């Protein structure tokens, strides 16, 4: 039973019509895999899928790893069908050892909420975002990442401050060894 439900869900995910990007190119499908239980529940308006144990999501310029995942998609097609067709993703909520790889950066946290139609990801529970070249590391109680903007917002609190670590900058301070340049004396006034 568990295996047939998982295969039915995978079939739905893999056969959902592909979307087109703004440039008109076909986007790759979103594929979700797990080593544990996968369950789908459909209502008249939504399809909710949960995945457990070693979850991996592969999508358009996104790879997500976590312990548990809940996917909410707007349902399309016949509302009386036993398993609804996936329309568009409303949200993905990943929990437990979350790792997201996107482009040249990586995020880790305890909880990630992905809102594809809002082009944002909300990270909480000790989030860290860093570039692979270690040019920056951002931490705080809550981080918001915005797709296509190369923008991250860190929300700090009085108890837990927002923090960004950047590469070193040159010393802009006073050098005690350097001799001051001589300044010319002012010309006499007539």
User: Distance between CA atoms of 176 and 32, rounded to whole angstroms?
Assistant: 61
pLDDT band per the 50, 70, 90 thresholds, residue 26: confident
* Partners of 126 in beta bridges: none
- Domain annotation for the chain: domains and CATH numbers: 2-165 (2.60.450.10)
For 55, residues 6+ apart whose C-beta sits below 8 A from its C-beta are 32, 33, 34, 64, 65, 66, 67, 68, 69, 94
User: Are 124 and 140 a contacting pair, CB within 8 Å?
Assistant: no
C-alpha 49, offset from chain centre: 19
Least confident of 38-42, 99-103, 137-141, 175-179: 175-179
Residue-level pLDDT at 110:
98
In the prediction, which pLDDT does 61 show? Answer: 84
Confidence at residue 165, expressed as pLDDT on a 0 to 100 scale:
94
Per-residue model confidence (pLDDT) at position 8: 32
Residue range 102-108: mean pLDDT, rounded: 90
Q: Which residues have a Cβ under 8 Å from the Cβ of 65 and sit 6 or more positions away?
A: 54, 55, 56, 57, 97, 98, 99, 100
φ, ψ for residue 145, nearest 5 deg = -110, 135
Q: Which of 142, 84, 75, 146 is nearest to 115 (CA)?
A: 146
Q: What is the DSSP letter of 116?
A: G
The per-residue pLDDT for 122 is: 97
Mean pLDDT of the 130-143 span: 93
What is the reported pLDDT for 183?
Answer: 67
Give the model confidence (pLDDT) of 82-100 as tens digits.
776 777 889 999 999 999 9
For residue 12, is pLDDT > 80?
no
Residue 11 has pLDDT above 50, yes or no: no
Q: Which residue has the tokens 């060894």?
A: 177
CB 135 within 8 A of CB 168: no
Stretch 133-150: mean pLDDT, rounded? 91
- The pLDDT value recorded for residue 92 is 93
């Amino acid at each position: 039973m568990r295996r047939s439900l998982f295969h039915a869900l995978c079939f739905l995910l893999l056969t959902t019509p592909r979307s087109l990007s703004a440039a008109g190119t076909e986007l790759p499908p979103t594929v979700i895999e797990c080593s544990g239980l996968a369950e789908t529940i459909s209502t008249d308006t939504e399809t909710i899928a949960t995945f457990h144990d070693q979850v991996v999501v592969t999508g358009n310029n996104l790879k997500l790893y976590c312990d548990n995942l809940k996917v909410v998609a707007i349902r399309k097609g016949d509302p009386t069908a036993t398993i609804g067709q996936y329309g568009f993703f409303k949200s993905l909520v990943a929990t437990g050892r979350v790792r997201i790889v996107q482009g040249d950066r990586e995020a880790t946290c305890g909880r990630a909420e992905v809102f594809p139609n809002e082009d944002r990801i909300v990270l909480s529970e000790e989030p860290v975002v860093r570039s692979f070249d270690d040019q920056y590391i951002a931490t705080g109680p809550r981080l918001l990442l915005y797709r296509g903007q190369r923008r991250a917002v860190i929300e700090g609190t009085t108890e837990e401050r927002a923090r960004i670590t950047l590469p070193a900058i040159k010393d802009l301070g006073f050098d005690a060894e350097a001799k001051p340049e001589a300044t010319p004396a002012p010309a006499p006034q007539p």
